[in-house]
Amino acid sequence: MQSSKFKFIKTKILFSFIIFLFMSSIFFITISSKKILACKLATDDSTIIKEKITDKIYPSDDLSENSIYVENDVIRSGNTLFVDNNWLFLIENRYNLEIYNISNVIEPEVVYSYSALSVSYDSKMIVQNNYFYIYCEHTDILHVLDCTDPTLIFERTRYTDLEGLKNFAVNDWYLYTISENNFTTYNFENFSALDQLANYFDDTYSFHDFTIKGNYSYVLDEMKGFVILNITDYSNIDYISEITLNEEEYKPSIYIFNDNLFIFESLIGLHIFDISNPLSIAKISLYDELANYSITDIFVKGNILYVLQSDGFFILDGSDLGQIQSISNYIESNFYTIFYSFMIQNDFVYLHNTYTAHFEQRTPLFIVNITNLELPIEVYPKSSRGSAEIFLLLLYIFLGAIVAIPVFLFLFAVIKSIIKDIKK
């Protein structure tokens, strides 16, 4: 009789444990679904702006005639963000090409989203002479979009078989590209088929980015330094020289302003070179105060240097490049960010944020007022991270409680029943 009694209690405990596992599974499935729920709850204007919106104001017909990608004798490679007067263009993962009206910097507005591409944060864009040039590394395709009428963006042409490009640049009817070991020039006059003019190949390099100044291309090797190529003759690329830095440290970006070249090197700092004579490049200085930061991009305006990191940027006085001085910095504290690229127009810095997470609403664009260089002020976005996170967290706690409370009540009743049986 005693044996039967304990056997019954043992069965009851086993049954309770199975029920507990089942209810716990439901609980964890509920919690793990937060990603889907968060995505649905997050504010995302771009998802409802897919086609032409007739009540919006769009850029004029002279869109980007004076592209910052071709500035004086400097030709810059592609990026994910471009600002042109009242308009901002953004390459955004999963949302493709977005056009913002930034005439009111406090409330920038997405006026158009072109979704017929396959872009990621590694895609690159150039805006020039009413055309978007967008390279999608997933498909190895360079898309050329006609944006003469931004309400009716369409693909003018596309160039395929551009495998593994790290970046590209456009000037007139010439296309410049880099892949891991190659620097190549093409002619595509009147959007004809690509006609390869010349190629420079060296399998000892790992090309990452480049900028052209005058007749010379300065090609960044992500681990070594940079290579100088003479491209005076489009059909014949000549190697000039190589500047080698510390070969063990990563070099994310290269920037040229006037006769000065800037390269940031992880754990080392910001290198500055005088390239007024490409045949005899001279080192000006090394600014090592930022050596331990993860710098992603550089921008120079006048005598001021802006250096981007994942959660903000530094403002430096470059009046004397031999003795750079810190002015201030901007650190984003209300949102989680991974700033990928930025541009500066007038007194505002426009930053591309690539951070996405379960509890975060999508915030791809940040705008900072730098009228007072010593006190940068964020003007957009205004909402705080806390409100969105608190709402979602409370919602998850509530959903979890709906599942958890019955589980605990059931277990309490079972334990109480088992104790009563043992006492008998």
* pLDDT tens-digit readout, 258-291: 999 999 998 999 999 999 999 999 999 999 999 9
Question: Could you state, in order of their start, the residue ranges of all structural domains in the chain?
Answer: 2-32+399-423, 49-318
Q: What is the architecture of the domain spanning 49-318?
A: 7 Propeller (2.130)
Q: To the nearest whole percent, how much of the chain has pLDDT over 90?
A: 54
User: Binning pLDDT at 50, 70 and 90, where does residue 149 land?
Assistant: confident
Indicate the pairing of strand 282-287 with strand 295-301: unpaired
CA angle 337, 142, 355 (to 5 degrees): 10
User: Binning pLDDT at 50, 70 and 90, where does residue 51 land?
Assistant: very low
**CB neighbour list of residue 137: distance below 8 Å, 6 or more residues apart:** 120, 122, 123, 164, 165
Please tell me the distance from the alpha carbon of residue 266 to that of residue 29, in angstroms, as a whole number.
42
User: Binning pLDDT at 50, 70 and 90, where does residue 93 land?
Assistant: confident
**CB neighbour list of residue 243: distance below 8 Å, 6 or more residues apart:** 225, 226, 228, 273, 281
* DSSP bridge partners of 200: 183
Question: Which strands make up the sheet holding 109-114, listed edge to edge?
Answer: 81-84, 87-92, 96-101, 109-114
Task: Decide: residue 402, CB within 10 A, 0-12 exposed, 13-18 middle, 19+ buried.
Answer: exposed
pLDDT at 65: 39
Q: Let me know: does 99 contact 89? Beta carbons within 8 Å.
A: yes
User: Binning pLDDT at 50, 70 and 90, where does residue 71 land?
Assistant: low
The sign of the dihedral angle between the CA atoms of 226, 232, 233, 235 is positive
66 vs 89, residue with greater confidence:
89
Q: Nearest Cα to 294, choosing from 255, 252, 330? A: 252
pTM for this entry: 0.76
Residue 219 has pLDDT above 80, yes or no: yes
* pLDDT tens-digit readout, 221-260: 988 899 999 999 989 999 999 999 987 778 888 999 999 9
